Structure 1
């Protein structure tokens, strides 16, 4: 642009930059305060070319991509954020302590998994799930985790997975003893448990599929909270049964325990969809 040119309307800028009008307005306010534009009503005229000192230094993210993912879904779980909720990127950026562009990239990744969508006028929304989506994902999860169990049971006695399972067993027993007060904490333990089992499989395609499965099942942000305590207590017992069977190297019991738990997870997810009227 040349000095004296008029800036486009805020809506046009938002569309061009692929951001919300709130972000555009914040940028315009910064340009106005730096006396780079003259902002009078609807008129925004360029009065001085920007120099290097006018650029903001991008802040380094305090969170890794994995930590941001964890914080985001922990927030959804803790505060029962329902499907269809509009996501305020600027607010979430401050809340999680990450630059806006990092959060935008993270949400773009989730959109490829069908978990969020970009609104036509900018910003993001959480999506719901259909019963067909839940059934297909549950069946695929069953195939992947049964395959992981079979591979796990062939590993030598000195493999690190056996110590991990023993530690996980103690953590399940500890949480079981205080489940009435800390039932929300099961989601994190559930993620840890399933991640340990799936970690024995080294397959790039499986790893990508497991990411989606983890986000849906382990951060069950649409699940009906009315019986969360009872459901999590039952799941702990199912995990313990599964762990004991694997530690004893009993393939038949291990697969039976896995099928029992994964089928119940599927039923719970479908029930959640009915409660939230997505099925």
Structure 2
């Protein structure tokens, strides 16, 4: 049989990780010469690809939607026919994608009040169906970012972040004063090499088909934009304030539910600010920055109702 990459109409779009794992499963079955009725064992697939059961189950469900496998009572998934062809697989880091999925899931749970301030690694494993190694990597990254800290023993504690409508409003009010002023500092000097690299990064990101885990990369790109402009100001205190704001709003942005339109608009606004700075017009850049922050503040989430895009 030839594997199909299509998804039935009305079915939810698969995640990148699910689609990639589905392709890798087909490649594995083809290499094994597996025939009709071959039983796909979840545990074996988890071991083969180094991921947890959750994305493997998603990949198997996707293959079932495509007609490659079938779910049977008390047997799990079985292959319906020999795999004669498998889709091309984009080179990607499955571990990195799985880590980002957990980033997004933790951020959503924190934003919605479903994850307590203090928890253990095992509790996160059970809550999100993630591998212990994945949870450990993500917690270490969050710790390096100053978002969690290890408690005595084996527990972890989340650091205070922007978690209310009032706090968000205060954050934007502060940033609307601070960040335009950053661009007007007497010592401001644009790092043109960084500006060129930043522009290229934004353009490349804008071309990517949106998927939830891109929220992590988008926030990293977005926070780098604001932080580097503050660094160009030559004012260490302004830089510190911008870095602190980036840290406080991390979880709001890792759980991105403001729509791809806001992503595209934010990138366009960043490019306009860079255009003005490269032309030496810092007054216009400051006004554009104020407008950018105002637009972000207005981009309220239809799901959470109280959070703002950044």
Question: Which residue does 1:248 correspond to in 2?
Answer: 279
CA contact (8 A) 2:206 2:267 kept: yes
Other structure's SS at 1:275 match: coil
Q: Distance in 1 between matches of 2:254 and 2:211?
A: 21
CA contact (8 A) 2:180 2:289 kept: yes
Q: Which residue, out of 77, 82, 85, partners 2:109?
A: 82
1:142 aligns with 2:142: no
1:133 aligns with 2:137: no
1:151 aligns with 2:185: yes
CA contact (8 A) 2:210 2:260 kept: yes
Q: Distance in 2 between matches of 1:264 and 1:139?
A: 13
Instruction: State the Cα RMSD in Å.
Output: 4.3
Change (3 A) 1:245 1:278: closer
Q: Deviations over 1:236-266 (max 9, x none)?
A: 1111111111111112321121011111222
CA contact (8 A) 2:199 2:271 kept: yes
1:95 aligns with 2:134: yes
Question: Which residue does 2:260 correspond to in 1?
Answer: 229
Q: Distance in 2 between matches of 1:246 and 1:212?
A: 24
The answer to which structure, 1 or 2, has the higher relative contact order (CA under 8 A, 6+ apart) is 1
Q: Distance in 2 between matches of 1:237 and 1:220?
A: 21
TM-score, normalised by the number of residues in structure 2: 0.49
CA contact (8 A) 1:242 1:254 kept: yes
- The Cα of 1:187 is off from its aligned counterpart by 1.9
1:171 aligns with 2:198: no
CA contact (8 A) 1:137 1:213 kept: yes
Q: Which residue, out of 230, 239, 254, partners 2:270?
A: 239
Q: Which residue, out of 281, 289, 292, partners 1:258?
A: 289
Q: Distance in 1 between matches of 2:141 and 2:255?
A: 25
